[in-house]
Structure 1
Amino acid sequence: MKDETATGLGARSGARVLVDQLIAQGVARTTCVPGESYLSVLDALLDSGIDVMTCRQEGGAAMMAEAYGKMTGRPGICFVTRGPGATNASAGVHVAMQDSTPLILFVGQVAREMKEREAFQELDYKAVFGTMTKWTVEIDDAARIPEIVARAFRTAMQGRPGPVVIALPEDMLDDMVSVPDAPRVEAPQIAPVAQDIARLEELLQQAQRPIVILGGGGWSPEARESMINFAERWALPVAVSFRRTGLFPADHDLYAGDLSLGPNPALTEAIRNSDLVLMLGTRLSEIASNGYTLFDIPTPGQQIVHVHADPEELGRVYQPTLGLTATPMGLMLALEGLTPSALPSGDWAAACRKGYRIWSEAPQPNPGPLQMGEIICWLRDRLSARDYITNGAGNFATWINRYYRFRGYQTLLAPTCGSMGYGLPAGIMAKRTYPERIAVTVAGDGDFMMTGQEFATAVHHGIPVVVVLVDNGMYGTIRAHQEREFPARVSATDLTNPDFAALAVAYGGYGERVERTADFAAAFERAVESGKPAILHCLLEKEAISASRTLTGIRDRTFP
């Protein structure tokens, strides 16, 4: 006999209706920090088949869910309790907003009869999250749960992807209602009109030095493959914006590099000398635009074709020659029929590629016996195209940006918003979602300690992420700015750290100290073979900050 509760025909509690909506939307996994405000949901999740990852702090839980959204294109799901639980989670919500990542954060709320009294941990979530979400809503009627959850999935995925926050009054979750489930939601693909594609083709035919800049959210493996084919037909050099290196394979002959902190001067020069720039999916905000200096504002000197899923982004900063509203897949489908009238020479693309190879080939030395450039180059040879690198924010990331070559789709999980503490939660989620792949988190000491308690989450759930923890005993990026702005007046940037290898063992994981480059490879293999969450505590000289300053160009400009 058919289970009526599964089809939505029988009376169910609000909590059961909510969990059934997640199942209907194909949710396989959720993160949470438990709270009394949504105990009914935790009970409904218990026998749902959904993998519930219990985290140690809401910021880490939300960042894990955000990483899931980056990898899959479906919203990452996170549950947190009211008040401080919600505000802790706001760090992950902010990442999702600036990174254009689908995310749904469910937050416990006080009972409906207690609202507007500043009850225990009560917050006005629309006011708190209003500027950092696509939609914030509170469900007061359990019968509307299917409607609102379906809309939340659609809102999080369609157009420019982003976060949604849904507040759940505690008593509402226990209401009994008879309501059908909503169907699975798929984001619609938006394609340009024919006359705009004809104009784009005309611009491409006329261009002598075109270049593509990829970025933004809403991509898929299929859209990426179509982009590769399009670039090959037209011999287009392809660059990617800040921390979007998974959108085009770095080992492809048309790859020209990424617009990261301290970008390759040869790449920025090529963009300035180009006569047609195709900005596909990217907003090209502060970092990727080199502090908004890469193009003239508001009218660039080059012809610009800007394609974005949100029409509000077109002309926000740069007035384009041609602006198109389209999702990545919608655009790629429209471009399939475009073929150059004459075979492009490829000389321009080859020159752009040569500049990238020279920039990323040989690692520049840094002071001390531990050479981070060499370690990153070793990892790029050791790891497969499908393995993951994750990182948060800090000067240590500059070695990744310059020397690692990402080949697989979305295999870099890192925040474009520059949020510290992102790398470990992202690495945990990557390894949980794809256990057959290696997930390496590269973190600074200050960066790691922002969410380091989630190492306990990895141990608890048996998730063998490998953390390469680069310890220079300071907030390195801030120190670099400080030494430039206030020479010989260092303050508030020195750190006293634990023995991170011993900390890993204390948590129940694997830990090893690495002080020399020659010792890293064997230590890494031991960490992988341990089958446990692992920390390789890599000791970096404080003076190595000078090398990272050179890599980022921090002497020349101020970046967040």
Structure 2
Amino acid sequence: MRHGGQILVDQLARLGTTRVFSVPGESFLAVLDGLVDSGIDNVVCRHEGGAAMMAEATGKLTGRPGIAFVTRGPGATNAAAGVHVARQDSTPMILFVGQIDRGHRDREAFQEVDFRAMFAPLAKRVAEVDDTARLPEYIGRAWREATSGRPGPVVLALPEDVLSARAEVPDLTQSPSDIRPTYLGVAEDAIGWLAQAARPLVVVGGPGWTAEAADDLAAFAEAQNVPVATAFRRQDYLDNRHPNWVGDLSVGMNPKLAERIRQADRLMLVGTRFGDIESRGYTLLDPAGHAQKVLHVHADPGEPGRVWRADVAVTATGPDFIRALAQHEPAGRDWTRWTTAARAEQEAWEDPRESPGAVKLERVIRWLSDTLPEDAILTNGAGNYAAWLHRYFTYKRFGTQLAPTSGSMGYGFPAAVAASLEHPGRTVVCLAGDGCFQMTLNEMSTAVQHGATPVVVVANNGRYGTIRMHQERTYPSRVSGTDLANPDFAALARAYGGFGATVEADAGFAEAFEAARASGLPAVIELRLDPEALSTGQTLSEARAAGAARG
């Protein structure tokens, strides 16, 4: 006879869980008890949003569900931000939420929330366990659902009395092995379809990618000599030095790459939903009707045709289909001129555009790109500062970009903590804006406690830069709600027990970074940027002038 918390932890251990992220609550004390001798590392976080984002990042890094535990009510609502990231990024994740006793339901008891209703639009599935003996069943199903088809987050609510009750129940049996199709015949048809193009473009993205898939993609691109673009924040799916890589479809994408999408007569979309960001707000293709023919490969059979009219729809994961494509001979079409021109446009786009001030973010990013080990992991949240990273950093290996396609601020630092714990031998660098970092910087305490050692580079321009850019373009010179009063970030890092440095001129960055890395501590390097440095393509004054010109 084991209590429910012990049953739950035993099931997670059998499934291969080695680390969970949590903010403790009295609603799941039995789980905390079960973790004591389990061999599973319980990373105690400072905010449920940080815990959920760390779990999501772990899911991205490993391909296995990242696990987070939070308490009912405010704990669950705080964690919702991380669940949303997992949903939009198609990341396997399980959020366990403590819940009130079953006998207290529907009385608006202390911290009572209907989690099925609350998480329904955010999670792939939401369930509440009503029977201690059925915990293995629910956990096994949650694991399977989080990883199958289009991966995503599953939320399991755990009433306190279900966790504290005892039951005699067998442990989970081994998860079933998947028999995966080869897709060779379908891939042959896809190559034939592609061969009819005069101006083809392949876009890859979505979940489940691997280093082997990156190698297969390179082989396919070389054999067919076709241009390949990577979806938003999936930039590490192909070595950016590869002659067939023509850029990433990010918020600040190369305008010439956007024009290539408009000009393409056949688009092969592999693994990606090709959503709002990749399509520039659904303007590069019109969902009501587009001239480009589309072959859409996705693990969810309901995705092709949901937004874009797919001439050919294939139900498969991106890596599985790319493997089949890589085994085929050339299609017999010569796209050399089209591909070479697209690659040249990307290389020109990478030439730095000088930003104002003594600290130039483009030089910092280029130094990181040229200096860091090829397996260094780069994380970021949301903000204009990230556009410098997308444009000027060369991703060389798969598994080195960790960023939210959902555009969640505050994500970069928790993700960096999770990455440092998962890969303690690798360099982990978080690029954060001053506003972005302040959303989750309290997890510095988590990093110190558990031995994570990421280096955070804070781009401090004293404002919410993205919103300020849009504000100046729409309501020039009418500033409201976008200026920030910031702390001394370096001093704050030292107060937490980490390393801190401030850089006020380019020449000081390399020395500060090497000192941060040598410290063996979680580190913060604050870059004091000129407030004029608003985006990679526009200064604050230019944005204001453009807004005034539009009236």
Pick from 278, 289, 301: which aligns with 2:279?
A: 289
The verdict on how the C-alpha distance between 1:546 and 1:216 changes in structure 2, with shifts beyond 3 A counting, is closer
Name the CA distance, whole Å, in 1 between partners of 2:477 and 2:347. 37
Q: Tell me if 1:462 matches 2:451.
A: yes
The verdict on how the C-alpha distance between 1:17 and 1:378 changes in structure 2, with shifts beyond 3 A counting, is same
Deviations 1:150-202 (A, max 9, x none): 11111111111110000111111122222222234368476586764443122
Q: Tell me if 1:133 matches 2:133.
A: no
Residue number in structure 1 paired with 2:301? 311
The verdict on how the C-alpha distance between 1:546 and 1:207 changes in structure 2, with shifts beyond 3 A counting, is closer
Task: Give unpaired runs (5+ residues) of structure 1.
Answer: 1-10
AA aligned to 1:312 is G
Give the 3-state SS of the residue equivalent to 2:313 in structure 1: strand
Pick from 345, 348, 357: which aligns with 1:355?
A: 345
- State the Cα distance separating 1:485 from its structure 2 match: 1.4
| Number of residue pairs matched by the alignment | 545
For structure 1, which segment, 232-241 or 205-214, has the greater mean C-alpha deviation from structure 2 after superposition?
205-214
Output aligned runs, 1:523-538, within 5 Å.
Answer: 523-538=512-527
Q: Tell me if 1:41 matches 2:2.
A: no
Name the CA distance, whole Å, in 1 between partners of 2:220 and 2:44. 43
Residue number in structure 2 paired with 1:438? 427
Q: Tell me if 1:382 matches 2:371.
A: yes
Name the CA distance, whole Å, in 2 between partners of 1:44 and 1:549. 54
2:191–2:331: 8 Å Cα contact kept in structure 1? no
- State the Cα distance separating 1:547 from its structure 2 match: 4.5
AA aligned to 1:281 is G
Name the CA distance, whole Å, in 1 between partners of 2:34 and 2:14. 14
Residue number in structure 2 paired with 1:3? none
AA aligned to 2:149 is G
Residue number in structure 2 paired with 1:405? 394
AA aligned to 1:81 is T
Pick from 282, 289, 294: which aligns with 1:299?
A: 289
Residue number in structure 1 paired with 2:84? 94
The verdict on how the C-alpha distance between 1:341 and 1:465 changes in structure 2, with shifts beyond 3 A counting, is closer
Name the CA distance, whole Å, in 1 between partners of 2:345 and 2:406. 27
Pick from 219, 238, 243: which aligns with 1:229?
A: 219
2:230–2:237: 8 Å Cα contact kept in structure 1? yes
Name the CA distance, whole Å, in 2 between partners of 1:254 and 1:148. 45
Name the CA distance, whole Å, in 1 between partners of 2:174 and 2:218. 30
Deviations 1:396-436 (A, max 9, x none): 10100100011111311111111100000000011110011
Deviations 1:485-504 (A, max 9, x none): 11121011111111110000
Name the CA distance, whole Å, in 2 between partners of 1:276 and 1:297. 15
Pick from 419, 424, 428: which aligns with 2:408?
A: 419
TM-score, normalised to structure 2's length?
A: 0.95
- State the Cα distance separating 1:16 from its structure 2 match: 1.0
For structure 1, which segment, 521-530 or 232-241, has the greater mean C-alpha deviation from structure 2 after superposition?
232-241
Output aligned runs, 1:468-487, within 5 Å.
Answer: 468-487=457-476
Output aligned runs, 1:252-331, within 5 Å.
Answer: 252-331=242-321
Name the CA distance, whole Å, in 2 between partners of 1:276 and 1:192. 24
The verdict on how the C-alpha distance between 1:213 and 1:186 changes in structure 2, with shifts beyond 3 A counting, is farther
2:532–2:539: 8 Å Cα contact kept in structure 1? no
Output aligned runs, 1:512-531, within 5 Å.
Answer: 512-531=501-520
Residue number in structure 2 paired with 1:6? none
Deviations 1:342-384 (A, max 9, x none): 3746332222211111111x21111110100010000001112
Deviations 1:83-137 (A, max 9, x none): 0000000000000001111110000001111122111111110011001101000
Name the CA distance, whole Å, in 1 between partners of 2:434 and 2:179. 42
For structure 1, which segment, 339-348 or 423-432, has the greater mean C-alpha deviation from structure 2 after superposition?
339-348
Pick from 18, 42, 46: which aligns with 1:52?
A: 42
2:445–2:496: 8 Å Cα contact kept in structure 1? yes
2:184–2:325: 8 Å Cα contact kept in structure 1? no
Q: Tell me if 1:428 matches 2:412.
A: no
Name the CA distance, whole Å, in 2 between partners of 1:332 and 1:311. 17
1:240–1:259: 8 Å Cα contact kept in structure 2? yes
The verdict on how the C-alpha distance between 1:14 and 1:461 changes in structure 2, with shifts beyond 3 A counting, is same
- State the Cα distance separating 1:395 from its structure 2 match: 0.8
Pick from 11, 35, 52: which aligns with 1:21?
A: 11
2:226–2:335: 8 Å Cα contact kept in structure 1? no
Output aligned runs, 1:53-202, within 5 Å.
Answer: 53-185=43-175, 188=178, 191=181, 196-202=186-192
The verdict on how the C-alpha distance between 1:410 and 1:298 changes in structure 2, with shifts beyond 3 A counting, is farther
Identical-pair percentage: 51
The verdict on how the C-alpha distance between 1:271 and 1:232 changes in structure 2, with shifts beyond 3 A counting, is same
Name the CA distance, whole Å, in 2 between partners of 1:548 and 1:81. 44
Name the CA distance, whole Å, in 1 between partners of 2:61 and 2:207. 11
Name the CA distance, whole Å, in 1 between partners of 2:482 and 2:42. 37
- State the Cα distance separating 1:221 from its structure 2 match: 2.3
Name the CA distance, whole Å, in 1 between partners of 2:183 and 2:413. 43
AA aligned to 2:221 is A
AA aligned to 1:114 is H
AA aligned to 1:309 is A
1:191–1:334: 8 Å Cα contact kept in structure 2? no
Deviations 1:502-535 (A, max 9, x none): 0001110000111111110110000000111110
For structure 1, which segment, 392-401 or 263-272, has the greater mean C-alpha deviation from structure 2 after superposition?
263-272
Name the CA distance, whole Å, in 2 between partners of 1:189 and 1:473. 53
Name the CA distance, whole Å, in 1 between partners of 2:241 and 2:185. 35
2:21–2:52: 8 Å Cα contact kept in structure 1? yes
2:384–2:535: 8 Å Cα contact kept in structure 1? no
Name the CA distance, whole Å, in 2 between partners of 1:541 and 1:264. 24
Q: Tell me if 1:209 matches 2:199.
A: yes
Q: Tell me if 1:394 matches 2:377.
A: no
- State the Cα distance separating 1:275 from its structure 2 match: 2.3
Name the CA distance, whole Å, in 1 between partners of 2:198 and 2:187. 19
Deviations 1:415-474 (A, max 9, x none): 111110000000001111001111100001110011110011111112111000111111
Name the CA distance, whole Å, in 1 between partners of 2:169 and 2:263. 60
Name the CA distance, whole Å, in 1 between partners of 2:538 and 2:161. 54
Residue number in structure 1 paired with 2:490? 501
Name the CA distance, whole Å, in 1 between partners of 2:395 and 2:296. 25
Task: Give unpaired runs (5+ residues) of structure 2.
Answer: none
Name the CA distance, whole Å, in 2 between partners of 1:356 and 1:547. 15
Name the CA distance, whole Å, in 2 between partners of 1:189 and 1:277. 29
AA aligned to 2:505 is R
Name the CA distance, whole Å, in 1 between partners of 2:190 and 2:165. 55
Name the CA distance, whole Å, in 1 between partners of 2:7 and 2:535. 56
Give the 3-state SS of the residue equivalent to 2:69 in structure 1: strand
Name the CA distance, whole Å, in 2 between partners of 1:196 and 1:363. 42
AA aligned to 1:119 is A
RMSD (Å), alpha carbons: 2.0
AA aligned to 1:103 is M
For structure 1, which segment, 81-90 or 488-497, has the greater mean C-alpha deviation from structure 2 after superposition?
488-497
Name the CA distance, whole Å, in 1 between partners of 2:335 and 2:311. 25
Give the 3-state SS of the residue equivalent to 1:311 in structure 2: coil
Give the 3-state SS of the residue equivalent to 2:198 in structure 1: coil
For structure 1, which segment, 201-210 or 138-147, has the greater mean C-alpha deviation from structure 2 after superposition?
201-210
- State the Cα distance separating 1:277 from its structure 2 match: 1.0
Deviations 1:182-231 (A, max 9, x none): 23436847658676444312212222322110111122222232222222
1:247–1:409: 8 Å Cα contact kept in structure 2? yes
